[in-house]
Amino acid sequence: MEEVARRRAAEAVRAREPAATGRLARLRRPAGESRGTGVWRAPDEEELDRKVLGILPPRPWTTLRATPLERHPNGPGPS
């Protein structure tokens, strides 16, 4: 459990970088669960895994599924 706590603390610090550069747009988790769902920005899945998510300390323990997103015509915000 100490290793998990250490990596979570390191992740909180390390996640500030992609958030500051706009690569991390949103991060949420289901109530009462530790898993998360994020909206990340990268030109392709390889860069997302290698340069964005790959820098996070828990990465070796995570399972990723990337789904490309595009703007919905009825969504709020700039087009």
Confidence of residue 32 (pLDDT cuts 50, 70, 90): very high
Percent of the chain residues topping a pLDDT of 70: 97
| Length of the chain measured in residues | 79
pLDDT at 7 over 90: no
Question: Does the global pTM surpass 0.75?
Answer: no
Whether the CA torsion 31, 28, 37, 6 is positive or negative: it is negative
CA distance 68 to 28: 17
Q: Which parts of the chain are beta strand (E)?
A: 24-28, 37-40
The three-state secondary structure class of 44 is coil
